Every structure is written in C-alpha cells, then in structure tokens.
Structure 1
Amino acid sequence: MFEAMTYEAILEEMLSRVTNDVDKREGSIIYDALAPCAYELSQNYFNMDNFIDLVFGDTAVAEYLDRVVSDYGIVRKAATKAVRKVTVNREVPIGSRWGLETTTYKIISKLTDNTGEGASGSTGTYSYAAECEQTGEIGNHYSGTLVNIDNINDVNATLTDIITAGEEEENDDNLRSRFYTLVQSPSTSGNAFNYRKWALEVPGVGDAKIYPLWNGNGTVKVMIVDSSLSIDTSLEAKVYEHIEEVRPIGAAVTVTSPASKEIKISAKITLDGTKLLSEVSADFTAAVTEYLKGTIFEAYSISYAKIGSLLLSTRGVADYTDLLLNNGVTNIPIQDTQIPIAGAITLSGVN
C-alpha cells in the first residue's frame, strides 16, 4: 500500500516544496534538516505496511496470529511433555527425578507390567511412567541409562518406550489451517466438518479425516495423524474423550489411526559433479518425505512421474534410469485408510 513512500521519494517531495532561491543540494542546511525527517517517515510507512499484514489471518504471525484467531474462539495449542516408560531393578519413589543427556524426568506412576516380588525394595523388574520436565519433542528423543538426581543408590534405570509423545507448541501454519477450517467450512449440528474441527482441537493432532455413517446410521469414524503427519496411536483416546464431551447426543464415535503404506524407491543416477551421492540421497529423501506428507488424506495413489520429477529436480542429479517404486514402474495405490511413508530409498551412481 505504501510501497512508493520511500526515503528518496519523501525527501524529493519535501525539497520540492522549498523555494528555488534556497540551496537544496546534498550537504546544504535545508537538505540536512529534512533528510532525517524523511528517513523517519519512510520507516513509519514501512512499518504501516507490515502492520496491515499483521491483522489479517493469511499474513499474521506469532502473537498477532493468536490475536486474530482468538476472536473466533481458537487458541494456539501449547507444547506438551512426553511421558516415557522407565524400567528399574527395584522399586523407586513416585516423584523421584532422573536425567539423561539434556533432559530430566519425574516418576509419576507405577505401570502394571512388573515382575518384582517380595517386600518393597526387593529386586526384579519394575516399570514406571515418567514425565519429561522439558516441554516439546525433546522428551521423545533419548533412550538409555538414566542417572538419578535424588541420590538413590543401587538402582539401574533405563528410559525406554514413549507412552505419550511430547509435542512442540503449535506452529503458525497449523494454527492458520485450523482457523481456515473454522471460518471456511460449514461446521454445524455435528456434521463432518464439526468432527474434524473437534479432532484438530486436541494437542498433538495435525490432521483428521471423517467417515460419516461408516458402519451404519449414527456412526462416525475419525481417523487422525499427529502434528508431524505421522501415526501416533496414543492420541486416539484423547481425541475420543474430547469428542465425547462436545458431540451431539446419539452418535457412536470411533477414533482410529491410519495404516502405513511403505514406499520403497530405487534408481540409478548420473551425478553432475556439484554434489556427492550421499548429499543427493539426503536431499532426495527429504523431498520425497515432504511430498508424501502432502498427499496424506488427499491422494489415492503415489505418482511414479512425480517421484521421477523430484529426483530429476534434486540438485546434483544430471539424469536417472531404472526408477522403481516398490519394485515396479507404476503408481502406488493408497487406500483411504492408509497413509504413505518413505521406506528404503536407494540411489546408486553410474558413470
């Protein structure tokens, strides 16, 4: 809107209003007096251009996007803490703290799969749920031997399975997508748009697909993926509980996760000399992963031609031959209850 209001344009306009019998050359008194003012005015016009972007849903970012969507009752999902399984050789107190790498964990409950016997303190195998004290995905990353922070002696503790994955704070793209889902979709009276909206309200859920009347009248299936568009079955119960709280009376709801369809890729490539084979393979794998995520709940096949196009457009690739998807040269069909995931990607160089 204010693109024309540059420093040079403003200064020229200001100098044009000074009579010609006054020295207006650079370095003159009037020039030096007006130049700082013109600069500050150009900065204000630049900020005004940006401020306009910050009040609309398609361009607002960070706290400004929060304020836009809050008018519609939408709140950014907060980061959550991972809950992990900890196995120990004897019982430990609830609330005890443990560390591994840059993370710390607090024991919050005892699990049922324990083989320890006898009085408290006897040896065996005990399992506990431990909550990461750091929020976000960092709590999902590490596994291995834990170090006790509370000076409990003679205990061997190991951090193993993820019970509930930690999630980062909802990013702008996901929040904007939920905003568009609300304002652009006619979600009323418990229709399919409503169920998708309710599913997306649960922290950790990245997308959802709704199957009305999937098992007869009064039935609804909700299929979900997490915020990284991957399968996380631990979210199913949370989504089910939330929908049960808000849905209309009468519907039987089933919440499930899709099955994975592995896409294996192999090809022979000719390098153009700008990148190593390992670098090309890493870049191509990243491009394929991004493409597959974009097809989730949208496409019913993975395009052989698209994969070839991604390979040819990867920096460092001059040409390719013998491209195979799951050992074939055709599109890979994806059922509506499946999502594609990248399997083994094997690129071999040829002279």
Structure 2
Amino acid sequence: MFEEMTYETIMRSMMEDMPDDIDTSEGSLIFNACAKQAVRLEEAYLILSGIEKNMYADTADLEHLIRNGNDRGCYINQATYSEIAAQFNCEVPLGSRWNLDEYNYTVFNVINDAEHIYRLGCDEPGAEPNHITGELEPIEYVENFEWGRSIKCILEGTDQEDTESYRARLLATYNYRGFAGNREYYKSRVKELRGVYGCKLERVKTPSDRIAITIIGQDYRTPPQDVITATQTAVDPIVNSGEGEGFAPIGHRVSVTGVKETTVNITTTITCESGYTTEALTSYINQAVDEYLLSLRKEWEENDTIIVRILQMEAAIVKIKGIIDVTGTLINGIDDNLQITDKSVPVKGEITCT
C-alpha cells in the first residue's frame, strides 16, 4: 500500500510544494531541513506497511499469523515429543534419564515388567528422533545396569506445523462455519488431537443420539489404544457420556474407535536384470509395496472404498532398479484387484516373489 512512499518521492513532493522564490537545490537550507524529515517519514511508512501486511492471514508473518489464528480458534500444531519402547537388562527407575545419540529420554512407565521393557519420552520435540535406534546410556548411575536398547518408536513426534500449511488451514476456516455439533466442527477438533491423522463420522440410527467416530493414526494405520482412549476422553468421556464434559455438545453420545486393517498378501513373478536377484531386492520390493499402500491409506478419510490395483502394484515394483518385468501378480491369492468396502485400510502382509 505504501511502496511508493520512498525518500525520493517524499522529498520531491516537499520541494514541489515550496514557493518559487525559495532555493530548493540539493544542499540548500530548506533541502537539508526537509531531508531529515523525509527519512523519518519513509521509516514510518515502512512500519505502516508492515502493520497492514500483518493484519491479514494471507500476508502475515508466522508470529502474526498465529495471533490471527488464535482469534479464530484455529491454533497452529505445535511440535510434539516422540516416545519409544526400550528394553534393559534390569529394572530401571521411573523418571530416570537416558541418552541415545544426541537426544535425552525420560522413563515414563513399564510396558513389560518381566522383560524390562519401558516407555520413554524424548526430552526434545520434533520428528528427527523418530527413527533413531541404538544403545541407551544412563545419564546418572543405575544399579545393575549393563545394557539398554531402543526397540521401536511407539509414538512419533512431529515438527511444528509448516507456516504455509497453517496459513492454508486458517484461510480455509473462512470458507466454512464450524458450529458445535456439525460435521465440520467434529472433524476439525478431532484432527487437532495428538496422534490423529484423519477421522470419519457416522450417525448411528439406533440409538439416535449416538455418533461413531473412527480415527486413523500414525502411518495412516490403526492408532494405539492410548490414542483412542485420549481421543474418547477429549470428545466425550465414557463415564459422563452425553453430558458435554468433552467438546461434544450436551446430548451427543460419541464412541471413538480405531480404523481396522485389511492384510494384503502379494504373490508375484519377478524377472531381474543380470547381476540382480529377487532375494537381494527384497527390502526394495517391500518398500515399494509399503509406499503404494500408504498412498491408498492417505485417501481413506475422503473415500468409502479403497481399491488395491494389481496394475499399480506391479508398476510400483517394476520401477525398482534391477527389475525388468513383473507378472502373474495375485492379491490374497486372487488374480483381481482387491476392493475394500468395510472402511478398513490396506496394510502389507506377506510378499512371495518367484
């Protein structure tokens, strides 16, 4: 809005307004007096331009975008902490702290007392620690400790939401009205909860006040029970169902369940280039199938039917370096596409290559 209000423009306007009998040449008394004011005015216009820019969600910087979103009840997704399952040779104290690579972890609770498996939380938020595995070392002395190792990530941490992703989500709130109880309200609130990557809503006919919400979790698969329980509590606690203790309105009885999974077993015949073998390419084949099924799972929220197609499966595998042909593919023993209509999601089962 104020891009044209530069020092030169302001000075030109000032000098043009001077009487004809006044010397306005550069270095003159009136020129020097106005020059300092022109500098200050240019700075003021730059500040005004920044204020105007940060008033609106489509041009605001991150700090002001968050403030815009807070006014509309659309909050940025902050970075979350990853959690791992770890096994030790002995019992370790709850609250004890451990180091793995460049990250520190705190023991939360016991998963399996007999096998000394514990749930640990990373001290730093973000997605980077999710796939770090290795040996754990105690930060302080732990009696009888000999070894400890990370088994798997049981809850992935996430980075703070990308600025442009948040901006798009905030701008989308201007296109709908999420009112307590309508479908858009439920979907937006449920998807803000940790560990929930998507959801589907269905009104149960009997009893008529029952609403069924199915959620999908990390990697677009069945979420762990603690995520389902936390979601149920946030939406409509079981002990006070229908009383409006969660964000579900009074009179809405909500039941939350995790999405079911359909196992996809693959049998196929692979022709390899000279120097390559099916056994050597097994990990790449598994990865290709995983990525294809993941792409289908990501569409679960918007579709009631998911079709696992043989042609696309073969196309994903044949892209692997060293494979020149894929034929005779069967899905769950059948030479046909797998059509999933029970609202479950496909996950990789056994892959048999000949």
CA shift at 1:267, angstroms?
A: 2.4
> Structure 2: how far apart are the matches of 1:129 and 1:290?
27
Overall identity of the aligned pairs, in %: 21
Q: Is the 8 A contact 1:304 1:331 kept in 2?
A: yes
Root mean square deviation, CA, Å: 4.2
> Structure 1: how far apart are the matches of 2:205 and 2:134?
43
Code of the aligned partner of 2:209: G
* Structure richer in strand, relative to its length: 1
Structure-1-length-normalised TM-score:
0.63
Matched, 1:107 2:107: yes
1:169 maps to what in 2? 159
Structure 2 vs 1, CA of residues 64 and 219 (structure 1 numbering), >3 Å: closer, same or farther?
same
Matched, 1:326 2:332: yes
Structure 2 vs 1, CA of residues 343 and 333 (structure 1 numbering), >3 Å: closer, same or farther?
same
CA shift at 1:149, angstroms?
A: 1.3
CA shift at 1:126, angstroms?
A: 6.1
2:347 maps to what in 1? 341
Q: Deviations over 1:45-102 (max 9, x none)?
A: xxxxxxx9xx887x99977976775564322222222344556666654432112344
In structure 1, stretches of 5+ residues that fail to align are 1-51, 116-124
In structure 2, stretches of 5+ residues that fail to align are 1-52, 237-245
Counterpart pick for 1:150 among 136, 140, 156:
140
- Structure 1 residues 63-78: aligned runs within 5 Å: 72-78=72-78
1:295 maps to what in 2? 299
- Structure 1 residues 1-351: aligned runs within 5 Å: 72-85=72-85, 92-108=92-108, 110-111=109-110, 114=113, 129-141=119-131, 146-156=136-146, 158=148, 165-169=155-159, 171-172=161-162, 175=166, 178-179=169-170, 182-185=173-176, 187-213=178-204, 215-233=206-224, 234-244=226-236, 245-270=246-271, 278=281, 281=285, 284-285=288-289, 287-297=291-301, 298=303, 299-311=305-317, 318-348=324-354
Structure 2 vs 1, CA of residues 146 and 184 (structure 1 numbering), >3 Å: closer, same or farther?
same
CA shift at 1:190, angstroms?
A: 0.6
CA shift at 1:268, angstroms?
A: 2.4
Code of the aligned partner of 2:338: I
CA shift at 1:209, angstroms?
A: 0.9
Aligned residues: 284
Structure 2 vs 1, CA of residues 196 and 99 (structure 1 numbering), >3 Å: closer, same or farther?
same
> Structure 2: how far apart are the matches of 1:64 and 1:322?
57
> Structure 2: how far apart are the matches of 1:266 and 1:176?
45
Q: Is the 8 A contact 1:137 1:168 kept in 2?
A: yes
Q: Is the 8 A contact 1:178 1:200 kept in 2?
A: no
> Structure 2: how far apart are the matches of 1:65 and 1:312?
45
